[in-house]
Structure 1
Amino acid sequence: MLGGTVWGNSEKQFYTNDAANVFSRDGLLTIQAVTRDPSIAPTGLGLLATSARIKTDTTAYYSALNGTPYGFYEIRAKVPCVRGAWPAIWMMGKTGNWPDRGEVDIMEWFGAYFADQPNQVQSAVHTKNNSGSTALYGKQNVSSMCSDFQRFQLHWTANEIVMGVNGTPTFSYKKPLNASVADWPFDQPAFLLLNVAVGGNLGGTVNVNDLPSMKLQVDYVKVWQAP
């Protein structure tokens, strides 16, 4: 499920469902930022490009996961390590407003911060009590982050969320004792999102000559659940 929209965070892309921005070829799904005037987007926002954001927010997806978010998720993908890029693989709760609905960031790469240390990757959770600049997160270095595909992983249970890369944990968040929904909104169904943002608060300054390199390549997305 995808479509046209302007996102937040001062980003410089307009998301579309155009074949130039999202396509499947040679067994890979590619999300590609493209240098062009997004004429169908609202004006006056200083947009530089179009890109795509894919999400699994469908009745069929929730039904397949039996109405719960619990399970083991693995996404094998290659991220664009380009200054100005902000690729992400993440999840949000099915219902409610952000951040009350909960956000789980399996993988984020920030062009504004990681361009000088490109092998770094971050995972995080956002809740009503900890969101935005106070989100709870962890980072790790992956030596081949920019040169090869990686397995980005999430193990989500009723009491803990653990995220990592290639079997090495990056960040974990345990359900606090006597937690309220403001600390643990992670019991309702949630959907996956994959996108490449351009610029913005965490993408940083964009050189339009780098846009052809801003592509997220996805080999597979798999979800396992206990019987």
Structure 2
Amino acid sequence: MTSTTFRFLILAIVLALTFSFIPNQEKPPKYKGYDLVWNDEFAVDGAPDKKNWNYEIGFMRNQEEQWYQKENAYCKAGFLIIEARKENKVNPNFISKSHQDWTKNRDSIKATSSCLITQGKHAWQYGRFEMRAQIPIAKGMWPAFWTLGIKGNWPANGEIDIMEYYTGKILANAAWKSKESNTAWDSSTFKLSDFKDNSWADKFHLWRMDWDAESIKLYVDNQLLNEINVQQTIQSKDQNIIPFQQPHYLLVNLAVGGINGGDYTAASFPSKYIIDYIRVYQKKK
């Protein structure tokens, strides 16, 4: 290989990496029959817009390794970046290693990350929800884009996982309370290899939910991953909370380890979940 060829090769690689991280600068598209009712384009550098987002703080669920904190979420160059970092800090909630509560029997924090939520600020019943993002797939990483109903405790309030990834798998799920098993799941799982693109994880993808009173349809890049029949999630006509016929708020987070995320290593850090935009459309009235 000549030195000129080598320089051109390096230039091509640099350009490819640069242009793969250019945010979508076009105005949100107009969908026939829909209005754009809320969006965050993450256009201003610094902390995410406090008008849109609250944060979870601490150890939250699924025996995950990360301690959630605000500092791991920031906007830069038109993207929201949620960064999982290897850290070593004292767990302020530690009581003893024999305590039954897993959030209180860990004496230290080994990893940090962020979970942003619209709870208390924004919630929507039905619509088209979109996120353009590149997800991290390093060992132990567990990124997600999901919703929870505003009324009731989990799973009675209903959960929709528009995007969930762990251990080499993409999932599109819904969960709700059932009489038979307490928690019912409608889940579709795809291996990364199912997408027939060796560089799939290095690219941005469009995750979408179309939700109405009858169905929840979950997509990636216009490929239908799962369709949930809303009527089948209703136990009885007189139940107090209909999980998918009530407003839901959004969560976007990067978890580490836990019951599904799997083992991680030092090489897993830092990992970045890079979000270009999140948009919510609703049908015209």
Deviations 1:79-110 (A, max 9, x none): 00111111111000012100000000001111
1:57 aligned onto 2:119:
yes
One-letter code aligned to 1:110: Y
One-letter code aligned to 1:185: P
Q: Which residue does the alignment assign to 1:69?
A: 125
Q: Which residue does the alignment assign to 1:205?
A: 263
1:104 aligned onto 2:160:
yes
The alpha-carbon deviation at position 178 of structure 1 amounts to 9.3
**Contiguous gaps of at least 5 residues in structure 2:** 1-53, 95-104
Taking structure 1 as the reference length, the TM-score comes to 0.85
Distance 1:77 1:209, change over 3 A: same
Q: How does 1:58-207 map to 2 (within 5 A)?
A: 58-59=120-121, 61-62=122-123, 68-111=124-167, 114=168, 120-129=169-178, 135-140=185-190, 141-142=194-195, 143=197, 144-176=199-231, 179-180=234-235, 185-207=243-265
What CA distance in whole angstroms lies between the structure 1 residues aligned with 2:232 and 2:183?
Answer: 24
Q: Which residue does the alignment assign to 1:6?
A: 59
What CA distance in whole angstroms lies between the structure 2 residues aligned with 1:31 and 1:159?
Answer: 33
Q: How does 1:32-47 map to 2 (within 5 A)?
A: 32-39=83-90, 41-43=92-94, 44-45=105-106, 47=109
Q: State the aligned residue count.
A: 211
**Contiguous gaps of at least 5 residues in structure 1:** 63-67, 115-119
Larger radius of gyration: 2
What CA distance in whole angstroms lies between the structure 2 residues aligned with 1:78 and 1:136?
Answer: 25
Distance 1:176 1:76, change over 3 A: same
One-letter code aligned to 1:168: Q
What CA distance in whole angstroms lies between the structure 1 residues aligned with 2:210 and 2:233?
Answer: 22
> Percent of aligned positions with the same letter in both sequences?
29
Taking structure 2 as the reference length, the TM-score comes to 0.69
1:226 aligned onto 2:283:
yes
One-letter code aligned to 1:104: I
CA RMSD in angstroms, aligned pairs only: 2.3
Distance 1:219 1:178, change over 3 A: closer
CA contact (8 A) 1:14 1:38 kept: no
Distance 1:75 1:128, change over 3 A: same
The alpha-carbon deviation at position 179 of structure 1 amounts to 3.1
Q: What SS class does the counterpart of residue 201 from structure 2 fall into?
A: coil
